[in-house]
Amino acid sequence: MEIQKIDLLQKDMPKKWYNIQADLPKPLDPPLGPDGKPIGPDALAAIFPMSLIEQEVSQERWIDIPEPVLDAYNRWRPAPIFRAIHLEKALKTPAKIYYKYEGCSPAGSHKPNTSIAQAYFNAQAGVKRITTETGAGQWGSALAFAGALFGIEVRVFMVKVSYNLKPYRRMLMNVWGAECIPSPSDQTQYGRKLLAEDPDNPGSLGVAISEAVEEAATRKDTNYSLGSVLNHVCMHQTIIGLESKKQLESIGVYPDVVIGCIGGGSNFAGISFPYIHDKITQNKKVDIVAVEPCACPTVTKGEYEYDYGDTAGMAPILKMYTLGHSFMPPSIHAGGLRYHGMSPLVSAVVNQGFVEARSYHQNEIFDAGILFARTEGIVPAPETNHAVRAAIHEAEKAREEGKEKTILFNFSGHGFFDLSSYDLYLGNHLEDYEYPSEAIEKALKDLPFRK
Amino acid sequence: MEIQKIDLLQKDMPKKWYNIQADLPKPLDPPLGPDGKPIGPDALAAIFPMSLIEQEVSQERWIDIPEPVLDAYNRWRPAPIFRAIHLEKALKTPAKIYYKYEGCSPAGSHKPNTSIAQAYFNAQAGVKRITTETGAGQWGSALAFAGALFGIEVRVFMVKVSYNLKPYRRMLMNVWGAECIPSPSDQTQYGRKLLAEDPDNPGSLGVAISEAVEEAATRKDTNYSLGSVLNHVCMHQTIIGLESKKQLESIGVYPDVVIGCIGGGSNFAGISFPYIHDKITQNKKVDIVAVEPCACPTVTKGEYEYDYGDTAGMAPILKMYTLGHSFMPPSIHAGGLRYHGMSPLVSAVVNQGFVEARSYHQNEIFDAGILFARTEGIVPAPETNHAVRAAIHEAEKAREEGKEKTILFNFSGHGFFDLSSYDLYLGNHLEDYEYPSEAIEKALKDLPFRK
C-alpha cells in the first residue's frame, strides 16, 4: 500500500514566514508615486496598518507568525501533501507527482493564509472595517472568513460580471457576515463616473481595486486589503512551501521541479520562495516553473517595467512584469489569473533567472483538470488546472526521457464554485484565446515611465 | 497554543469495518417480499453483487477492507478530527467539542466511504454499469466519483426539483463522467407512468429509487447501488467512528456524547456504531444522539414496523422506523434527511435503547450553521447543521450544569453546494414545518403488514 497523504503534525507547523527580500541578489526597485519619485511608508499609511507596511519593506529573512494567526491557521493547517499515484499510473510515468493541497481551507483556496494575517494586523491596529476587491471571488470570500474570525467588518467590491455569474461566492461571503457589492458601484466617485458613462459596464479587477482603494483612502475608519501582488502577501503565503519542505523531508524527498500558477503571483510565491531560497543560498538544483494563461501572458509576453497596479491609477506604481494597466484580458474561466501585472517579488525572481515562465491555453488546462478529477478525485479550480497541466507536462517529459523525477505542484484551490466552467468545457463551448501582439503593444504604450 | 487538528497517519488507518450485527442483543428481523415471507439472498442477486449481499446478512464482527478500497480511501482518509475551540469560546462552555470532518472527501461528504466499496465489489463481480438515485446530489456525486475510479459507468436518477435547483451537483457528476437525469424520467416504465399522469411531477427520493431499481432489475448488464439504509452501507461507514476512536485515544480522550444526523442513517451509523459496540460489550457510559428534522420526524414520530423502502413498492420490505412509504415530507433544505424510512440497523439500536433521537426545526439548525461558520470557519451542509445544533445544545447543557463534558459529532459534509439555502435563511425566508399528526397517521395506514 503506497502512502498517498503526507501529514504534518500541528505542533510541527512552521512558526515563521520566509521573506525572500533578504536573499534576492538584486534588491527590489522601490514603489513610485505618480510623480515618479519613490514613496515612503507614510504614503501607504492611509490604507494599511504600519505593521504590514513594515513587512512590505522588511529585509529580515524570517518573520514570526503571531500566536493568534497560528491559532487561526490551525483551523485547517498544516495542509496535507498528497502523492498523485493514480495520475502517475494514468500517465505511465516514472516521475513521482506530489501536490500541496490548499483546497482544504474553509474558503477553499490558499487565500486565507494572508487574509487571516491581514485581518489580524488590522485588528491589532484598531481597524474595524476593511474594503477589498475580488474577481472570481476566492479572495473576497477568504477575507470575509478572516473578518468573521477577528471581528472586522468587510466590504467586497466584486467584478460585476463575476458577481452575476458566480452567485454562490457572494452567498459564501454573506454566510461569513461580509457585504459584497457588484463593481462598478454607486458607492464611490470612480464607480459613479464609470456608471454614468456606461450603466452596463461589466467591471474588471483593476476597476474594483480602484473602488476599494478610493473608499479606504477617503474613510478614516476603513483600511484596504489586497489578496495578491504585494510583498507582505507573498510572504504570508510562504507557509505553503515551508510546510511542504518539512513534509517531503519526512519521507526523504526533495523535489526536482516545483510548479505554481501565476495571476497576481501569491500562491506561486508561497510554494516556490522557500525552494528559491535553497537555490540562491545553497545553489540547490531545482527547476521552478510559473504557469500563466496564454490569454493573459503577463510574464511570457509582457515587459519588466514600472506600471500602475490598478486601472484608475490610484495605486502605487510598481516595477513588475506587466501588459499595461489598460490591458483587458478576455473572459477566460481562470478569473484569478486575469491581471495585467505581476507581484514585484515574483517578477524579480523571474527576471533574475530563478524561474521559468510558461503559458497554456484554456482547453488544455481543462483537459488536465478532467484527467486529474477522474484519477485523483479532487476537482481543481481553473487557476489550479494551469499547475496541473504543467505537472503533467513534466511527468510526460520524464517518461520520454526515462527519468525518475520528483514533481511538486501547488494545488491552490478546489473547483466547486467553478463547475459551470467545466460544464462549458465538457460541452465543447470553450474558446482558446491568443492575444494579438499589437493589442499588447498598444497597452504597453500606457506605461507611465517607459523608456 | 491549543491543538485543534488531530490527524491519524495513513499507515495507522483501520483495516477492517465493524459489523454491529455481531453484537446486537436482539438480531434484525429479516427483509420480506411482497408476500410477507422472508426473502433470501437470491432475491437480491438481480441488482447487487453476491459479495455485498453476504455483507448485508453477515454476522461476523470485523470484515476486512480490501486493499484497493483502502487505496481509494487513502486519496483523502484518514479524515481529520478538529476541536471546535472557537465555538466553545463563543458558547462559554466548559465542554470540549470535537468533530470528525468528512467534508474533506473529494465529493464533500461521508458518502464515498460506501460508494467506493460498492463500486469496487461490483467491479470485482464484472459489473460495468450501475444505476442509483440521488436527492440533493451528495450520493449521486459520490457514486460518480467512485465509478470514475473503478471504470464503472454510472447513471443517476436525480429528484427533478433538486436537479433544477442544484445544477452544480449535476455538473460535478458529469466532471467524473457520470450521467445524471431528472426523475421522473422517460427512461423507465414507472417514470413514464408518472409523467403521463402529471408532466410536471417534481419527483421524490422514493420515486427515484423506484426508477433506478427498475432499470437495474430489467437490464442484465446493470446493478443498483443505494447510498444509505442498508446494512452493508452502514458497515462501510464505520471507518468514520473507528478512525475517530484511534484519534481521540491518541490524545487520551473518550467522548461522553456522540452525535450524528439521520436521514437514511448511514453517517450516524458510521460515527456511532463503534461506540455502541463499547456500550453493548463493555457497558461503557456514552450518550448516543441521533438528530432529525421536525419536518421529517421518522424516528421521533414514526412507527417501528415493516415498510417499503421506495414509493412504488419495488424494493424489499424492511423492519424500520417509518412514516409510511407514501409520506411526502415538505421541501426542507436538508434534502438528504427527507426520507420516510430509516436504516434497519439504526432503527434497531434506537429501539433496543442505545440511542436517543431528537428533532430540530430548520431555522434553528441554520442558526447553528451560521454560528459554526463564523467561529470555526467551515460551512456545514444543512444536514450536518442538525448535528451541529445538537452539539451546541449539549455544550449549553454542560455550561448550565458546570460539567466538563466531551462531545463528538460527525461533520458529515460541507455546504458549498447549499449556499442558496443559507441565502434564503439570511433573508428570513425559511419556514419551520411541524408535520400534523393526522398526516403522519394517514401515511402510516399504508404500512403493508401493520398489526
Q: What does the pLDDT look like over B130-169, one tens digit per residue?
A: 999 998 899 999 999 999 999 999 999 999 988 998 899 9
Give CA–CA dist B320/B322, Å, rounded: 6
Closest CA to A338 of A444, A413, A433, A263: A263
Q: Which residue has the higher pLDDT, A450 or B44?
A: B44
What lies within 8 Å, CB to CB, of A379 at 6+ separation is A369, A372, A373, A414, A415, A416, A419, A422, B106, B172, B175
A316: helix, coil or strand? Answer: coil
For B311-342, what is the HEC assignment? CCCCCCEEEEEECCCCCCCCCCCCHHHCCCCC
3-state helix, strand, coil in chain B (%, to 5): 45, 20, 40
Q: Is B401 on the interface with A (CB under 8 A)?
A: no
Residues in B closer than 8 angstroms to A417, CB to CB, are 416
Are the beta carbons of A71 and B370 separated by less than 8 Å? no
Least CB-CB distance to A374: which of B4, B148, B370? B148
The pLDDT tens digits for A98-148 are: 999 999 999 999 999 999 999 999 999 999 999 999 988 999 999 999 999
Least CB-CB distance to A419: which of B1, B78, B172? B172
Cell of A141: 470570500
Q: Is residue A334's pLDDT more than 90?
A: no
Contacts 24+ apart (CB under 8 A), A272-276: A272/A241, A272/A349, A272/A355, A273/A18, A273/A20, A273/A234, A273/A238, A273/A241, A273/A345, A273/A349, A274/A18, A274/A238, A274/A241, A274/A242, A274/A244, A274/A245, A275/A241, A275/A245, A276/A20, A276/A23, A276/A349, A276/A354, A276/A355
Cell of A385: 488546472
Task: Please give the residue of chain B at the shortest CA–CA distance from A102.
Answer: B104
The pLDDT tens digits for A381-424 are: 999 999 999 999 999 999 999 999 999 999 999 999 999 999 99
pLDDT of residue B434: 78
Question: For residue A399, how many other CB atoms are within 10 A of its CB?
Answer: 16
Residue B291, judged by CB atoms within 10 A of its CB (0-12, 13-18, 19+), counts as buried
The pLDDT tens digits for B198-219 are: 999 988 888 899 999 999 999 9
Percentage above 90 pLDDT, chain A: 83
How many angstroms separate the CA of residue B118 from the nearest CA in chain A? 16
Are the beta carbons of B168 and A420 separated by less than 8 Å? yes
B380 and B373 in contact (C-beta within 8 Å)?
Answer: yes
Mutate to test the interface with A, among B166, B175, B247 (most CBs of A within 10 A): B175
Q: Is A422 on the interface with B (CB under 8 A)?
A: yes
Least CB-CB distance to B171: which of A10, A71, A419? A419
pLDDT of residue A223: 97
Closest CA to B77 of B105, B107, B114, B116: B105
Q: What angle do CA A85, A89, A93 make, to 5 degrees?
A: 100
Are the beta carbons of B1 and A74 separated by less than 8 Å? yes
**Residue range B408-435: mean pLDDT, rounded:** 93
Backbone angles phi, psi at B23, to 5 degrees: -115, -5
Give CA–CA dist B138/A129, Å, rounded: 37
Average pLDDT, chain B: 95
Percentage above 90 pLDDT, chain B: 83
The pLDDT tens digits for A50-84 are: 999 999 999 999 999 999 999 999 999 999 999 99
- Give the DSSP H or E segment for A183: strand A179-183
Interface of A with B in 66-105 (CB under 8 A): 67, 70-71, 74-78, 82, 86, 104-105
**Residue range A92-101: mean pLDDT, rounded:** 98
**Residue range A183-197: mean pLDDT, rounded:** 96
**Residue range B435-447: mean pLDDT, rounded:** 84
Q: Is residue B332's pLDDT more than 90?
A: no
Give A379's DSSP letter: P
Are the beta carbons of B75 and A423 separated by less than 8 Å? no
Least CB-CB distance to B378: which of A5, A106, A376? A106
Give CA–CA dist A101/A377, Å, rounded: 13
Confidence bin at A328 (pLDDT 50/70/90): confident
Interface of A with B in 154-173 (CB under 8 A): 167-168, 171-172
Give CA–CA dist A323/A339, Å, rounded: 9
The pLDDT tens digits for B77-115 are: 999 999 999 999 999 999 999 999 999 999 999 999 999
Are the beta carbons of A422 and B71 separated by less than 8 Å? no
The pLDDT tens digits for A206-255 are: 889 999 999 999 999 999 999 999 999 999 999 999 999 999 999 999 99
pLDDT of residue A451: 60
Closest CA to A134 of A182, A167, A172: A182
Alpha helices in B66-204 (DSSP H): 67-73, 85-91, 112-124, 138-150, 160-165, 167-175, 189-197
Confidence bin at B451 (pLDDT 50/70/90): low
Interface of A with B in 107-126 (CB under 8 A): 107-108
Q: What angle do CA A157, A311, A339 make, to 5 degrees?
A: 75
pLDDT of residue B124: 98
Q: Is A177 on the interface with B (CB under 8 A)?
A: yes
A380 and A418 in contact (C-beta within 8 Å)?
Answer: no
Contacts 24+ apart (CB under 8 A), B53-60: B55/B19, B55/B231, B55/B232, B55/B235, B56/B230, B56/B231, B56/B232, B57/B231, B58/B19, B58/B21, B59/B19, B59/B21, B59/B22, B60/B19, B60/B22
Residue B449, judged by CB atoms within 10 A of its CB (0-12, 13-18, 19+), counts as exposed
Q: What angle do CA B428, B434, B438 make, to 5 degrees?
A: 150
pTM exceeds cut of 0.90: yes
A83: helix, coil or strand? Answer: strand
Interface of A with B in 331-370 (CB under 8 A): 370
Beta-bridge partner residues of A133: A157
A422 and A381 in contact (C-beta within 8 Å)?
Answer: no
Half-sphere exposure for A181 (CA within 13 Å, toward CB): 16
Q: Is B419 on the interface with A (CB under 8 A)?
A: yes
Q: Is residue B5's pLDDT more than 90?
A: yes
Confidence bin at A310 (pLDDT 50/70/90): confident
**Residue range A305-322: mean pLDDT, rounded:** 90
Question: For residue B26, how many other CB atoms are within 10 A of its CB?
Answer: 8
pLDDT of residue B331: 78
Give CA–CA dist A362/A294, Å, rounded: 8
Q: What domains lie within chain B, and their CATH numbers?
A: 67-108+232-444 (3.40.50.1100)
The pLDDT tens digits for A244-271 are: 999 999 999 999 999 999 999 999 999 9
Least CB-CB distance to B423: which of A76, A82, A171? A171
Range name among A43-47, B284-288, B329-333 with the lowest pLDDT average: B329-333
Q: Is A149 on the interface with B (CB under 8 A)?
A: yes
What lies within 8 Å, CB to CB, of B196 at 6+ separation is none
Question: For residue B262, how many other CB atoms are within 10 A of its CB?
Answer: 35
Closest CA to B121 of B16, B50, B30: B50
Range name among B217-226, B231-240, B364-373, B428-437 with the lowest pLDDT average: B428-437
Confidence bin at B447 (pLDDT 50/70/90): confident
- The single-letter code of the amino acid at A246 is K
Closest CA to B248 of B396, B404, B97, B386: B97
User: Can you give the length of chain B in residues?
Assistant: 451
Average pLDDT, chain A: 95
Residues in B closer than 8 angstroms to A104, CB to CB, are 104
Q: Is A417 on the interface with B (CB under 8 A)?
A: yes
Least CB-CB distance to B423: which of A71, A174, A376? A174
Least CB-CB distance to A106: which of B9, B76, B377? B377
How many angstroms separate the CA of residue B3 from the nearest CA in chain A? 7
Q: Between the CA atoms of B138, B141, B147 and B149, what dihedral angle is there, to the nearest 10 degrees?
A: -100
**Residue range B278-288: mean pLDDT, rounded:** 97
Cell of B449: 403488514
Least CB-CB distance to B171: which of A177, A370, A423? A423
A180-207: buried (b, 16+ CB within 10 Å) or exposed (e) per residue? bbbbbbebbebbeebeeeeeebbbbbbb
Percentage above 70 pLDDT, chain B: 100
